[in-house]
């Protein structure tokens, strides 16, 4: 098998696997079957991609599609044909966002998918995700010998959904589950470890081709295979894995000695964040503003020569990382060609100790091809002590005579020792399925009810921010910096694909929220944003502004004004204002001061949200708005999800009716 053994940090025995040295999955699978159970395989074939020029990283043709996991498991093979491929020609712009949240699909494109079985009427089941691989095929479906025509395959999950369906255990810290790329095309978790998944959760897969090695015209396909075992089929116990995906970013604007001093104060012994330049082909969402008001980029330029880049791992972006000791059992890396190493370092009193290091090799004989990226896999695990300070460090060796682009993400999978199978898992095969609309036993219903308090959790932001599900990496709203607060109510007409809604922003309820939402409404930030959630007599929820329907993106101007908002409930408590029908309630993450842009229109009373979530306005229940609400509700199950076409500031147009 050509595996190499390496002692990594704290005397933990880890196996460093290069993709080129891995045994074929079919051989490894037989051993896994003995340990856990029979594999269920989900296969997706994409393309052909037409490669008729050279592409830098993130520029090649791509397909982004969301799937219900149960549909994939029920389908022998799913096809995403060439008609679904998106091209970015003439260097007109970068490819898809590196988003860590679920995409909203174009209904017309979805109809082009072949072989997909609909399992919407099936009960939720627990599966264990064991690993995945990607191959490059020619037009005749024959595997090619190298992975040079892969840019990446991103697998993203919905953290809010996972936190809801798996209420006991680690919270979902990142939307990015896995990235496969050149030199890292086949990964499997250590024997006896896997990620618990629900059959009805939705995964977004982004397939992007690359061509940095040849001018020859190529037509090729990508084939992805994902491996699972059903919980009911287990032969031996399996340990649950949680994950973080911290990333390196560089400072591109607003750096100052004061900010550097504050950063060092928060992370003693670490080098701090490196200053750099945004890549010209930077992906959407790569630029973020941190709490020190610096502008950071997760996609940056590497000049010729050897350069090292560092970023501290902090609560702002990876909440809870150091809250307790963790045991890492697996690690993948998303890097660009010419990266030679990525390290997780522990910083202590001015000294640094490597916890783990991944090495990589780039073949430059015919261009730029990532030939090998080490994968760390360890049954024993690598200890990451609690309460310490950590940083990511990466070295790029640019042996070319021109600047190249780069990024670094390190996916760290650790044992989730708090995981408990949720109440909807059938321990008795005669027990009724416990779902949203199904009857449940008293015990199962009680378990399901525990999910409800996180119902207003904000939909996750884009990927390169990698916020960890607890605290977005936007600065907290500061009136001294962000401008004066509103003093009067503002009324907007929200035009949606289902009709018009009239919304009132009321600073008398929450001045900071009303002011920031006024800015976002005026900026056009919500154009293309879907209404993604409906629960009868509870909420109709608008997604985060970073999430758009296919073909649309948040503008750079709107992205720059995104802020975290502090919980504002004092006025509401004082005046007895509670969560009732038609109020606008702001969604947020676990941290009370983490609201950004997702909000809900209340469809009924929700006392469990009082004092926990900020009310900042109301729907004006005039005939037009009420008709639109009814249209959305009546057509919700028919799809597709309605989305926002735009917002216009207006005077109150109609008398209200509360129906």
Q: What is the pLDDT of residues 451-463, one digit of tens each?
A: 333 334 444 333 3
- Element containing residue 28 per DSSP (H, E): helix 25-35
- Distance between CA atoms of residues 333 and 358, nearest Å: 8
Residue 334 confidence (pLDDT) above 70: yes
Which tokens belong to 639?
């799809």
| Better-scored residue on pLDDT, 591 or 635 | 635
Per-residue confidence (pLDDT) for residue 109, from 0 to 100: 65
| Better-scored residue on pLDDT, 423 or 446 | 423
Residue 18 confidence (pLDDT) above 70: no
Per-residue confidence (pLDDT) for residue 280, from 0 to 100: 84
Strands annotated E in 92-238: 126-138, 150-156, 176-180, 186-188, 193-198, 202-209, 218-230
- Distance between CA atoms of residues 641 and 107, nearest Å: 9
- What are the domain boundaries of the chain? 4-244, 250-415, 452-650
Per-residue confidence (pLDDT) for residue 363, from 0 to 100: 93
Band (pLDDT 50/70/90 cuts) for residue 472 is low
Residue 517 confidence (pLDDT) above 90: yes
Contact predicate 548/277, CB 8 Å: no
SS3 78: strand
Mean pLDDT of 497-502: 96
* Top-ranked range on mean pLDDT: pick from 19-28, 229-238, 650-659: 229-238
- Distance between CA atoms of residues 95 and 97, nearest Å: 7
Strands annotated E in 173-325: 176-180, 186-188, 193-198, 202-209, 218-230, 239-244, 250-253, 287-289, 295-297, 300-302, 305-313
Beta bridge partners of 227: 41, 131
Per-residue confidence (pLDDT) for residue 187, from 0 to 100: 92
Q: How far is CA 374 from the centre of its chain?
A: 23
Contact predicate 603/539, CB 8 Å: yes
Mean pLDDT of 430-454: 34
In the CATH hierarchy, which top-level class contains the domain 452-650?
mainly beta
Per-residue confidence (pLDDT) for residue 300, from 0 to 100: 93
Residue 657 confidence (pLDDT) above 60: no
Length of the chain: 659
Band (pLDDT 50/70/90 cuts) for residue 283 is low
| Better-scored residue on pLDDT, 271 or 100 | 271
Residue 65 burial by Cβ neighbours in a 10 Å radius (0-12, 13-18, 19+): buried
- Distance between CA atoms of residues 648 and 659, nearest Å: 24
- Distance between CA atoms of residues 326 and 337, nearest Å: 30
| Least-confidence region, from 84-93, 202-211, 242-251, 629-638 | 84-93
* DSSP string for residues in 617-638: EEE---HHHHHHHHHHHHHGGG
Contact predicate 252/287, CB 8 Å: yes
- Distance between CA atoms of residues 57 and 406, nearest Å: 8
Per-residue confidence (pLDDT) for residue 521, from 0 to 100: 97
pLDDT > 70 fraction of the chain, expressed in percent and rounded: 81
What does the mean pLDDT of the chain come to? 82
Which tokens belong to 71?
């549909």
Mean pLDDT of 428-443: 32
Per-residue confidence (pLDDT) for residue 350, from 0 to 100: 67
DSSP state of 475: P
Q: What is the pLDDT of residues 485-498, one digit of tens each?
A: 999 999 999 999 99
- The dihedrals phi and psi of 650, each to the nearest 5 degrees, come to -140, 175
Distances (CA, A) of 256 to 260, 647, 649: 6, 37, 38
| Least-confidence region, from 83-92, 549-558, 633-642 | 83-92
Band (pLDDT 50/70/90 cuts) for residue 509 is very high
* Top-ranked range on mean pLDDT: pick from 15-29, 95-109, 495-509, 532-546: 495-509
Mean pLDDT of 36-53: 87
Q: Which candidate, 208, 284, 290, places its Cα nearest to that of 251? A: 290
Residue 311 confidence (pLDDT) above 60: yes
Band (pLDDT 50/70/90 cuts) for residue 198 is very high
* Top-ranked range on mean pLDDT: pick from 88-92, 341-345, 385-389, 535-539: 341-345
Which tokens belong to 307?
């350069």
- Distance between CA atoms of residues 242 and 383, nearest Å: 15
Specify whether domain 250-415 bears CATH 2.60.120: yes
Band (pLDDT 50/70/90 cuts) for residue 446 is very low
SS3 358: strand
Mean pLDDT of 220-233: 94
Order of all β-strands in the sheet with 176-180: 62-68, 202-209, 150-156, 176-180
Contact predicate 465/285, CB 8 Å: yes
- Distance between CA atoms of residues 428 and 262, nearest Å: 55
Q: How many CB atoms lie within 10 A of CB 27?
A: 10
SS3 180: strand
Q: How far is CA 387 from the centre of its chain?
A: 26
Residue 481 confidence (pLDDT) above 50: yes
DSSP state of 486: P
Per-residue confidence (pLDDT) for residue 38, from 0 to 100: 67
| Least-confidence region, from 62-71, 245-254, 436-445, 510-519 | 436-445
Contact predicate 153/222, CB 8 Å: yes
Band (pLDDT 50/70/90 cuts) for residue 21 is very low
């Amino acid at each position: 098998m050509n595996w190499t053994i390496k002692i990594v940090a704290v005397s933990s025995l880890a196996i460093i696997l290069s993709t080129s040295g891995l045994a074929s999955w079919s051989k490894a699978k037989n051993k896994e079957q003995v340990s856990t159970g029979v594999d269920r395989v989900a296969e997706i074939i994409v393309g052909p991609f037409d490669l008729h020029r050279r592409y830098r990283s993130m520029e090649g043709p791509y397909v982004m599609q969301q799937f219900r996991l149960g549909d994939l498991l029920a389908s022998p093979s799913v096809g995403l044909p060439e008609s679904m491929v998106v091209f970015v020609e003439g260097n007109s712009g970068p490819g898809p966002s590196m988003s860590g949240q679920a995409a909203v699909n174009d209904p017309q494109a979805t109809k082009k998918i072949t072989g997909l079985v609909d399992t919407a009427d099936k009960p939720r089941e627990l599966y264990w995700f064991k690993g995945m691989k990607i191959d490059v095929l020619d037009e005749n479906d024959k595997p090619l010998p190298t992975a040079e025509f892969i840019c990446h395959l991103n697998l993203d999950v919905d953290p809010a959904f996972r936190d809801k369906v798996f209420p006991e255990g680690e919270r979902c810290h990142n939307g990015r589950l896995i990235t496969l790329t050149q030199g890292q095309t086949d990964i499997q978790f250590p024997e006896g470890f896997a990620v618990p998944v629900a059959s009805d959760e939705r995964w977004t897969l982004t397939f992007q081709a690359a061509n940095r090695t040849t001018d020859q015209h190529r037509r090729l396909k990508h084939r992805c295979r994902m491996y699972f075992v059903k919980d009911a089929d287990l032969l031996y116990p399996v340990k649950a894995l949680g994950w973080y995906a911290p990333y390196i970013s560089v400072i591109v604007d607003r750096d100052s000695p004061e900010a550097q001093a504050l950063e060092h104060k928060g992370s003693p012994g670490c080098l701090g964040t490196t200053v750099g330049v945004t890549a010209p082909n930077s992906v959407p969402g790569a630029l973020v503003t941190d709490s020190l008001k610096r502008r950071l980029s997760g996609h940056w330029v590497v000049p010729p020569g050897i350069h090292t880049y560092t970023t501290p791992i902090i609560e702002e972006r990876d909440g809870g990382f150091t809250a307790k000791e963790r045991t890492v059992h697996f690690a993948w890396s998303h890097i660009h060609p010419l990266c030679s190493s990525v390290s997780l370092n522990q910083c202590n009193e001015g000294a640094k100790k490597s916890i783990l290091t991944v090495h990589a090799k780039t073949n430059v004989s015919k261009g730029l091809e990532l030939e090998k990226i080490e994968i760390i896999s360890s049954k024993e695990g690598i200890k990451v002590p609690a309460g310490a300070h950590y940083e990511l460090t990466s070295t790029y060796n640019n042996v070319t005579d021109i600047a190249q682009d780069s990024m670094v993400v390190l996916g760290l999978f650790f044992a989730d020792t708090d995981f408990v199978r949720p109440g909807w898992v059938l321990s008795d095969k005669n027990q009724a399925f416990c779902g949203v609309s199904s009857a449940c036993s008293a015990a199962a219903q009680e378990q399901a009810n525990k999910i409800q308090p996180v119902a207003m959790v904000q939909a996750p932001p884009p990927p390169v921010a990698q916020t960890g599900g607890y605290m977005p990496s936007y600065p907290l709203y500061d009136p001294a910096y962000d401008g004066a607060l509103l003093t009067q109510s503002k009324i907007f007409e929200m035009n949606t694909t289902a009709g018009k809604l009239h919304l009132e922003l009321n600073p008398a309820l929450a001045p900071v929220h009303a002011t920031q939402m006024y800015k976002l409404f005026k900026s056009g930030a919500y154009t293309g944003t879907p209404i993604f959630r409906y629960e009868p007599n509870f909420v109709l929820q608008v997604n985060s502004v970073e999430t758009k329907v296919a073909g649309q993106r948040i503008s750079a101007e709107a992205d720059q004004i995104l802020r975290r908002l502090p919980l504002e409930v004092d006025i509401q408590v004082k005046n007895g204002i509670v969560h009732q029908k038609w109020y606008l309630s702001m969604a947020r993450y676990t941290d009370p001061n983490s609201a950004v842009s997702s909000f809900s229109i209340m469809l009924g009373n929700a006392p469990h949200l009082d004092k926990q979530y900020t009310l900042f306005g109301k729907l004006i229940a005039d005939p037009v708005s009420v008709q639109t609400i009814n249209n959305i509700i009546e057509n919700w199950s028919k799809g597709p999800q309605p989305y926002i076409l735009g917002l216009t500031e207006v005077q109150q147009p109609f008398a209200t009716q509360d129906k």
